[in-house]
Copies of this chain bind each other. A is one copy, B any other.
């Protein structure tokens, strides 16, 4: 049995999985803001989960924790997790001291990639990119069954590839970044709404025939498809799995992305040969990030956290 935790911007989710990787218990608590509160809410989630299982955290050899921001798995430090109020925190050590277990820390998109790979039942010979459509745009890569973090943990940062020299200025200092066109914040900027789910609201308005909504929706979908193309052309993963909150849109989202990819294939024999529409899918339902974090916890797992 292994425990994994995903520290999200609003909620912290903890799961326990059995030896076969099935979720046997899960729970959520609100995420605190700032170092002390984030540590406290994470400790509370793990302790409560262990309690429900009739045990205590030290009974687990190690737990895995996914967190947004720049994470150094070797040192267990996290930097620049702005929406959690964290900057350069030794989160791994802090949690380990309070919980009495070894803690493996990893970036949230990377653990979601591992979790999706596992929940989709993909084998060790497969490769997959998890394309996270959140406020920003980033991907996690699982190559040959293993998480590929890259040399400095920045693999999959495709949101900051410029795709239009005439595009807007990005907060990263570049112009025309893909993230400005294919992300939750991209939609929020082009389709201002008080709706709690702006992308869903956009799709509903587009389905109802609103001309601006149709235009904004198409630009968004076109650029999500561009992100898929970047991942396949560069890394040539078997599959690109779309993840993040907006996957609750379900089949209409996937069909729209596939339509764009198919229209490109009709114009390019080269792209057609890559069979992009059949290689894109949606992340599975379920707690992908916390399951992925749990898989980090066991170094003996067939899914290793590092390639090298």
Contact = CB atoms under 8 A, between A and B. Distances in A.
Contact of A157 (B154, B158, B164, B236): B236
B150 A235 contact: yes
B151 A233 contact: no
A234 B226 CA distance: 13
B154 A271 contact: no
Interface residues of A, number: 49
B307 A143 contact: yes
A161 B229 contact: yes
A153 B234 CA distance: 11
A300 interface: no
A117 interface: no
A127 B268 CA distance: 31
A33 interface: no
A264 B156 contact: no
Interface string A215-241: 000000000001001111111111000
A160 interface: yes
A307 B164 CA distance: 34
A274 to B, nearest CB: 7
A29 to B, nearest CB: 32
Taking the full assembly, how many copies of this chain does it contain? Answer: 2
A134 interface: no
B307 A173 contact: no
A287 B254 CA distance: 46
A150 B308 contact: no
A152 interface: yes
A203 interface: no
29 contacts: A127-B308, A143-B143, A144-B307, A144-B308, A150-B235, A150-B236, A150-B237, A151-B237, A152-B274, A154-B232, A154-B274, A156-B236, A157-B236, A158-B234, A161-B229, A161-B230, A162-B226, A163-B164, A164-B164, A164-B165, A172-B268, A172-B270, A173-B269, A174-B267, A174-B271, A230-B230, A231-B234, A234-B235, A235-B235
